[in-house]
Structure 1
Amino acid sequence: MVGTAAQSVQALASSLGALPPEFVRPEHEQPRATTFRGAAPPEIPVINMSSPGAWRRMAEAAAEWGIFQVVCHGVPAEAVAELQRVGRGFFALPQEEKQRYAMDPAEGKTEGYGSTLRKGDLEGKKAWADFLFHNVAPPAAVNHAVWPESPEGYREANEAYCGHMLRLTRELFGRLSAELGLQEGAMAEAFGGDDVVLLQKINFYPPCPQPELALGLAPHTDMSTLTVLLPDEVQGLQVFKDGCWYDVNYVPGALIIHIGDQIEIMSNGRYKAVLHRTTVSREKTRMSWPVFVEPPPEHAVGPHPQLVTDEFPAKYKAKKFKDYKYCKINKLPQ
């Protein structure tokens, strides 16, 4: 069992020779037994956003895969590098310094630094990851008290990157909306318009003594509208399709777009939320920087009226996002 002195997977990893049993996934989830190993796996689409037909290909990928990678997305390499620098800098801090920003839901601290050591799944299994997350937009939802003061430049890097995410999100919403035959502004309006919430997260997956038995994150779909994921070069993200788990190959300079539950609901199932998970490495630390784009808590999302017909009746009920989130986290009927 994990020692009571361990406060993070990062700290635990430095003292282990074997994987504690609570991190060993059931056989049907273990990467060594379930990852596709064929000679020619299908490729997750990589789309140049400046190319002719890019939006049609994105819509096709959203419907078939629920995920695609984008290049020529307009986010400057300097903004990406600075976000990664301050993120790596935070996880290089001493453990006691990171603990200053620890989340504590019991005290109402739902943003900040945390670890999967705190809680397992229904079978008591834990994921191999630490994390830091906090809202970055809109201004009314931001609490800078949970943003790290170190390393230097953390706030500036996150605010600059957030500006690019707001622009990219509007663009994605507009074109994915138009490809459904709706007005370009329909999707943004369905998710709260200017009040849409952006949550920046850093995932930290330290080296694991038995990565073939563990997962960094268990299989799930994102509750968000969409997620914009910045990966590093260490392989780890996998998606599920047609009964198999496939690696998402690292493409330098690309951002990975996940379709989340709210877009699947709004599109009445035409776009699919992607089921995905994260594997870990024996020798290398892996990090990723997802931005979750969410409706405001009180905003209700349901199938768009123009996408509900006699031929295609509503597949989902309209629900406030806070209620949807509560049901999913607690595994209650939706």
Structure 2
Amino acid sequence: MVTSIVRVESLASSGIQAIPEEYIRPQEELTSIGGGNVFEEEKKKEGPQVPTIDLMEIDSEDKLVREECREQLKRAAMEWGVMHLVNHGISDDVIDRVKKAGQAFFNLPVEEKEKYANDQASGNVEGYGSKLANNASGQLEWQDYFFHLAYPLDKTDMSIWPKSPTDYAEATSEYTRQLRDLVTKILSVLSLGLGLEEGRLEKEVGGVEELLFKMKINYYPKCPQPELALGVEAHTDVCALTFILHNMVPGLQLFYQGKWVTAKCVPNSIIMQVGDTIEILSNGKYRSILHRGLVNKERVRISWAVFCEPPEEKTLLKPLPETVSETEPPLFPPRTFRQHIQHKIFNKKITQDQEDALLFSTKQG
């Protein structure tokens, strides 16, 4: 158990007026963060907005109605790579229980949470943690978290799941079980959108047996200088799909058409993001969008992210043959999923094109 790390929650509750230097972002990032209030940003009606996709008719018996719903999902995955899903079929009660359980865990005293601390130095990443510096500048994110494999249950280590609150394990298990059905549905639509057989993408990412669901509850305490920090730095997700619940406090930003767009808080929705795995398999037709998390001084933000990850060594990530042609050559070299993760770690998590676009946007103010 590691207890020498200063948790962000402890920093935030200590009464500091200025954040430690290691949490201050580089100047080029600070320009794009600006001094804006995330609550005001979220209210803006002008400019591009993250699409909301209503899944009510995704399995409609009416072919035209069904196809229109699926076409909207496909278009959002191609243009944005992120969307709010409503009428997604996951029980409101289960979602409410998951949120209450995660909130209750983070309401525990820090010393109680430390009983679940991970040990990143030894490679044990599951459990309660905070980001450790992984670069020369020592930059940290304004975030604590709880991370663990959540599905399939026979592959999880439930001994590290929180014992308090008592509903944590049951609520999380039921949520990921229901989410599993939604993932199959989404991957089917995305497969058909590429002209593939319905089950092709799911098969490519491990199928029902081997696609792993990893739960990360992100806890972003109030920050005395939100204009200087980030809850999560800019990155794309390595996984196939990411599904996000949150406590209706804004903070997620997407890098779209050269600008940062703040996602709205859409009631009863789940945010879905396309990850690198699907982008690569589709040869870039579906988009893994660059995103980050802002913090604020007024309210704690909590999000529940489930990352759907393929088997690390078995999965060879490369554009599927059907997505490649003379006019559309492969955009990505073949790598195993593990190699792709390593490649991103050593390349600061974002591609050169994204880095260039990010720097350009900051220079434009």
TM range (shorter): over 0.9
- Given the alignment of the two structures, is residue 66 of structure 1 paired with residue 72 of structure 2, yes or no? no
Return 62-71 or 5-14, whichever deviates more: 5-14
Residues 196-215 of structure 1, C-alpha deviations (whole Å, 9 max, x = no match):
01001100000000111111
Residues 87-139 of structure 1, C-alpha deviations (whole Å, 9 max, x = no match):
011111111211111111333412111012x2254532211000001011223
Residues 248-296 of structure 1, C-alpha deviations (whole Å, 9 max, x = no match):
0000001111010000000001011010000011011000001000101
Return 34-43 or 162-171, whichever deviates more: 34-43
Secondary structure of 2:292's aligned partner: strand
Aligned residues: 330
In structure 2, distance between residues paired with 1:283 and 1:332: 31
- Given the alignment of the two structures, is residue 32 of structure 1 paired with residue 60 of structure 2, yes or no? no
Secondary structure of 1:213's aligned partner: coil
**2:287: which partner in 1?**
272
| 138 and 5 in structure 1: CA distance in 2 versus 1, 3 angstrom threshold | closer
In structure 2, distance between residues paired with 1:39 and 1:306: 39
Structure with greater proportional helix content:
2
CA contact (8 A) 2:244 2:271 kept: yes
In structure 1, distance between residues paired with 2:46 and 2:52: 16
- Given the alignment of the two structures, is residue 110 of structure 1 paired with residue 128 of structure 2, yes or no? no
Tell me the amino acid that sits aligned with residue 292 of structure 2: R
Quick one: which of 323, 346, 349 aligns to 1:330?
346
In structure 1, distance between residues paired with 2:230 and 2:134: 12
- Given the alignment of the two structures, is residue 209 of structure 1 paired with residue 245 of structure 2, yes or no? no
- Given the alignment of the two structures, is residue 182 of structure 1 paired with residue 181 of structure 2, yes or no? no
**1:13: which partner in 2?**
12
In structure 2, distance between residues paired with 1:5 and 1:301: 38
Secondary structure of 2:146's aligned partner: strand
In structure 2, distance between residues paired with 1:55 and 1:39: 26
| 122 and 44 in structure 1: CA distance in 2 versus 1, 3 angstrom threshold | farther
- Given the alignment of the two structures, is residue 22 of structure 1 paired with residue 22 of structure 2, yes or no? yes
- Given the alignment of the two structures, is residue 317 of structure 1 paired with residue 333 of structure 2, yes or no? yes
Secondary structure of 1:212's aligned partner: coil
In structure 2, distance between residues paired with 1:232 and 1:101: 23
| 239 and 121 in structure 1: CA distance in 2 versus 1, 3 angstrom threshold | farther
| 164 and 39 in structure 1: CA distance in 2 versus 1, 3 angstrom threshold | closer
In structure 1, distance between residues paired with 2:98 and 2:181: 17
In structure 2, distance between residues paired with 1:289 and 1:202: 5
User: 1:6: Cα distance to partner?
Assistant: 5.7
CA contact (8 A) 1:135 1:199 kept: yes
Quick one: which of 158, 162, 177 aligns to 1:148?
162
CA contact (8 A) 2:153 2:173 kept: no
User: 1:140: Cα distance to partner?
Assistant: 4.3
CA contact (8 A) 2:54 2:87 kept: yes
**1:1-334 equivalence runs, <5 A:** 7-15=6-14, 16-30=16-30, 31-32=33-34, 40-51=46-57, 52=65, 53-116=68-131, 118-194=132-208, 195-298=210-313, 299-331=315-347
Question: What RMSD in Å do the two structures reach over aligned CA positions?
Answer: 2.0
Residues 39-79 of structure 1, C-alpha deviations (whole Å, 9 max, x = no match):
61111100111243121111111111111111000011100
Give the TM-score taking structure 1 as reference length: 0.94
Secondary structure of 2:34's aligned partner: helix
Tell me the amino acid that sits aligned with residue 34 of structure 2: R
